[in-house]
């Protein structure tokens, strides 16, 4: 059985949850998708890859948070998923501070993933709408549309595809305020490490809203256990 993925670990960590009802409310589906995945501690080697450029980093799951550790320069980003909100903190030179909203549009290490993407705030937005069911890479999924709070996001609307059996986030699409697709995240493959299902590869695409063509691709890849 495929287990739940959580984008709070860049769609990395997958943990078993109870099966959802056949047709739950969209709020219940999103609540399942953001359930705390910190059941078992593990440290993994990973990389962001765009063409020939590779940025290695560590992902540490445990102690109620996911830590992303970068070097040169040293940088730690910590994500916590609460019942009502997510929090994102950054640690540089031994000092831990909340990531300000003004920084949420900034990219992480020059790639396509932003601080806002990592914070998973869209899983907490109000008034989600359940759309038609669809199949994503052979998985039967709920498709949910979530409007962004006014002036609170780089996106106007986010759509998510969530596995019906496990509540895994399979695909995420961000649209601008005029309804045009600008970014897509999709799980390409998974792997099993220490009897836990982990992300193996996720593709992140930047989409030109005018031409609808892909103008940039970054892969997040988990290379194995540290």
* Per-residue model confidence as pLDDT tens digits over 168-208: 889 999 999 999 999 999 999 988 888 877 789 999 999 99
Looking at residue 65, what is its pLDDT?
Answer: 82
pTM of the model: 0.86
Q: Which long-range contacts (CB under 8 A, 24 or more apart) does 143-149 make?
A: 144/26, 144/29, 144/30, 146/30, 146/122, 148/122, 149/125
- CATH classification at residue 86: 2.50.20.10
Domain range holding 146? Answer: 4-225
Residues of the chain with pLDDT under 70: 1-22, 36-40, 63
Number of domains, the chain: 1
Looking at residue 2, what is its pLDDT?
Answer: 37
Looking at residue 196, what is its pLDDT?
Answer: 76
Looking at residue 22, what is its pLDDT?
Answer: 63
């Amino acid at each position: 059985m495929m287990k739940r993925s959580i984008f709070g670990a860049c769609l990395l960590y997958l943990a078993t949850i109870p099966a959802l009802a056949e047709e739950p409310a969209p709020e219940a589906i999103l609540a399942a998708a953001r359930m705390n995945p910190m059941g078992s501690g593990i440290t993994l080697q990973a990389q962001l890859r765009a063409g020939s450029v590779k940025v290695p980093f560590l992902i540490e799951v445990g102690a109620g948070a996911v830590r992303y550790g970068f070097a040169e320069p040293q940088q730690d980003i910590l994500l916590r998923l609460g019942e009502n909100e997510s929090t994102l903190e950054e640690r540089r030179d031994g000092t831990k501070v909340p990531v300000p909203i003004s920084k949420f549009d900034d990219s992480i290490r020059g790639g396509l993933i932003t601080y806002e993407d990592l914070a998973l705030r869209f899983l907490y937005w109000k008034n989600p709408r359940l759309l038609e069911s669809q199949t994503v890479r052979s998985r039967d999924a709920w498709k949910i549309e979530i409007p962004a709070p006014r002036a609170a996001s780089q996106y106007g609307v986010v759509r998510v595809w969530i596995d019906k059996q496990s509540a895994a986030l399979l695909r995420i699409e961000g649209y601008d305020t005029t309804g045009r697709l600008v970014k897509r995240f999709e799980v390409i493959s998974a792997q099993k490490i220490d009897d836990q299902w982990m992300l193996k590869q996720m593709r992140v695409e930047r989409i030109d809203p005018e031409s609808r063509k892909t103008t940039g691709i970054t892969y997040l890849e988990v290379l194995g256990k540290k």
